[in-house]
Amino acid sequence: MEVPTRLVLAPMAGVSVQAFRRQGRRYGAGLVCSEMVSCAGLQHGNERTLGYLRIAPDERPLAVQIFGSEPAVMAEAARMVEDAGADLVDINFGCPVKKVTKTGAGATLLEDPARACAVVAAVAGAVSVPVTVKMRRGLQNGSRACLELGPRLVEAGASSLTLHPRSARQMYTGEADHSLTAEMVSIVDVPVIASGDVTSRARAQAILATTGAAAVMVGRAAQGNPWALREIVDGSAEPPTREEVVAELVLFMRETVRELGEHRSTGFLKKFYGWYLGRGRFPRPFKQELVQLETLDEVEQRLFAAAPGARDVLERLEADLPSAEDDVVLDLPISIYGGG
């Protein structure tokens, strides 16, 4: 599978809905990823299902990320993901959240090499699309478990590795140690994607140059800020106008409602208001005002009142989107987070 740019949009629980992925592709991400999906949820059904996972033509190539610790169950989940139309299957060996690690999944598998390799081998043997793995450096600060495990995962069938060189214990504090990324590149013969602290074009170029990684992965820097992706890809550093910010937020809201329904979207979207409207774009009280509004229609009207020219920008954005009828609608549960 070929990825058109050296920028990958990270899988983020409670964030990476289809609207987020499609936006990422529009702004230059060569590959976008679903939020992580429980293999048990795929096997048994999930009461916290958000609705349907849709694959739109304009978001491909798309990776669907799965997590779990039982090789056979993960293999079956991978088959379902491939049948659904994903371009690759990504396995999560990096999530540090307790509700995942306590089940033996996520970052816990970094300390259980035999099981980790068995999971990768089972998944790779079950599907014909590429299988990739996203991992952290290890569970504890200073761990080098990723370097011991990486070559074994490739041997087991991983076509690519993404390394976020923080420990699970660090969560998102401190700095990502990309000297580990450079070491990983030197010991495996598959593409390595560098994740962690990729916040600008200069930072991305430095990481690519010093590690030899094939691509960088951007996560938190893109939340409510797709313009960061454009800047990283082609150097377009001009900040968005208020009208552009409002238009992208309203489009994101409408597309999220189409996917999740209005009831679930109302609470889900509130964290995005601050992400879009921050960075000095709008006064802080304005975001707080939006959070207090009861309906998304009220939020839209208040946004348009603050930036009337956004309506014209939004019309142009919506005109360029493919028809919703072109989506492939998949009856798959999303994640254990129920949308965050």
Please identify every residue annotated as catalytic: 95
- Tell which residue, 165, 167, 102, 99, has the closest CA to residue 139: 167
CB 60 within 8 A of CB 110: no
Q: Which residues contact 137 (CB under 8 A, 6 or more apart)?
A: 110, 143, 144, 145, 146, 163, 164, 165, 166, 167, 177, 180
Q: Which residues contact 295 (CB under 8 A, 6 or more apart)?
A: 266
CB 333 within 8 A of CB 64: no
Cβ burial of 241 (10 Å; 0-12, 13-18, 19+) is middle
CB 176 within 8 A of CB 195: yes
Amino acid identity for residue 268 in this structure:
F
CB 211 within 8 A of CB 185: yes
CB 10 within 8 A of CB 92: no
From residue 226, alpha-carbon distances to 214, 244, 245 in Å are: 21, 11, 10
CB 168 within 8 A of CB 101: yes
DSSP code of residue 240:
P
Q: How far apart are the first and last CA of the chain?
A: 31
CB 156 within 8 A of CB 121: yes
